[in-house]
Chain A
């Protein structure tokens, strides 16, 4: 629809009207070597949501690396407010981050999906995405909290 514009929220002001604005997001997305990039979907003032938001969707992503294939893009978040779904905002956001990925010569897009989220799994499968957990047996593993501290304490002094 032509009333929709997608603007880059990477540099410049972070919309204070967002419901959840975290200090860390501002610090980490807008420093010299940002930890992530972000695209926002914005609608005209006259179509704003009940609470007065004109930013109604976003994608948060960062660059990753594979020693086999090179640069990839990892999509961490893709969100559109419920009242604005079903009008292709998601696909317009996708178009943008894919062109960003291409401009940075990324050869892959990676993301994770919860196993019970059938609509999302079906969507990516229909587009030709591979579920590497099912097809190859990859599992995500994480260290955090005290376990991360313990692991770091075992590091040799270089």
Chain B
């Protein structure tokens, strides 16, 4: 049994602490940790999140009751209008197979629709067959395979070069 709760910008101190509890189970991500306060809890947050929590009696060996999360932000398509992009979906291994991941994803979809979004987008690694099969069974489609879109990234020096004529 679990419950979902939202955290985003303008949140009071408590949700920030809860997020840090969940994040404590991951390896340290220096850049992200430094920017989390600024980016997730400012007036115009760069992301929003939902945390999945179990009751105290089901807590992990290390004492965590926050056992999963979804991180998302709003995006845009000049064809289809407002969209929601799910950047992260994570459930601790020992809590998988109970519908928590599906519940988190559904909540993101529900919040997206409430905000007037027409699409929920995310990315999946093509060798991650079990995840891809799960998402396809839920009714999504693989834009890369069907339409041919490739994800492109420029960073560091490439980003500098891109600005040159």
- Tell whether A pairs with B: yes
Chain A interfacial positions (CB closer than 8 Å to B):
24-25, 28, 33, 35-36, 60, 62-71, 74, 76-77, 88, 91-92, 94-95, 98-99, 101, 105, 107-116, 121, 124, 127-134, 136-144, 146-156, 158
Indicate the size class of the contact surface on chain B. Answer: 35 or more
Given contacts A115-B148, A158-B4, is CB(A142)–CB(B143) below 8 Å?
yes
Q: A65-B87, A91-B163 are in contact. Are A142 and B120 (CB under 8 A)?
A: yes
User: B102 to A154, Cβ gap below 8 A?
Assistant: yes
**In whole Å, how far is A33's beta carbon from the nearest beta carbon of chain B?**
6
Pair B120/A130 contact, Cβ less than 8 Å: no
Give the complex CA separation of A33 and B48 in angstroms: 14
DSSP majority for the A interface? Answer: mixed
Once A33-B44, A76-B78, A129-B158 are accepted as A-B contacts, the answer to whether A155 and B141 lie under 8 Å apart by CB is no
B6 close to chain A: CB less than 8 A: yes
20 residue pairs bridging A and B, Cβ less than 8 Å apart: A24-B81, A35-B75, A62-B74, A63-B46, A67-B32, A76-B77, A91-B163, A94-B163, A107-B155, A127-B154, A128-B158, A131-B150, A131-B152, A136-B125, A137-B127, A140-B151, A141-B122, A151-B138, A151-B139, A152-B112
Residues of A within 8 Å of B154, CB to CB, are: 108-110, 124, 127-130
Whether B54 sits at the interface, judged by CB under 8 Å, is no
> A108 near B32 (CB under 8 angstroms)?
no
The SS class assigned to the B binding surface is mixed
Known contacts being A67-B29, A68-B32, A108-B153, is A140 close to B143, with CB within 8 Å?
yes
- Which residues does chain B contribute within 8 Å of A141, judged by CB atoms? 121-124, 132, 135, 140-143
| Minimum CB–CB distance for B107 against chain A, Å | 5
Q: Contacts A137-B127, A140-B151, A155-B106: A68 and B29 contacting too (C-beta < 8 A)? A: yes
What residues on B are CB-neighbors of A60 within 8 Å? Answer: 76, 78
* B123: contacting residue among A134, A139, A156, CB under 8 A: A139
Q: Does B147 contact A (CB under 8 A)?
A: yes
**How far is A9 from B147 in the complex, measured between Cα atoms in Å?**
31
A121 and B152 CA atoms in complex are apart in Å by 9
Contacts of B105 in A (CB 8 A): 151
Partner among A76, A91, A116, A133 whose Cβ is within 8 Å of the Cβ of B164 = A91
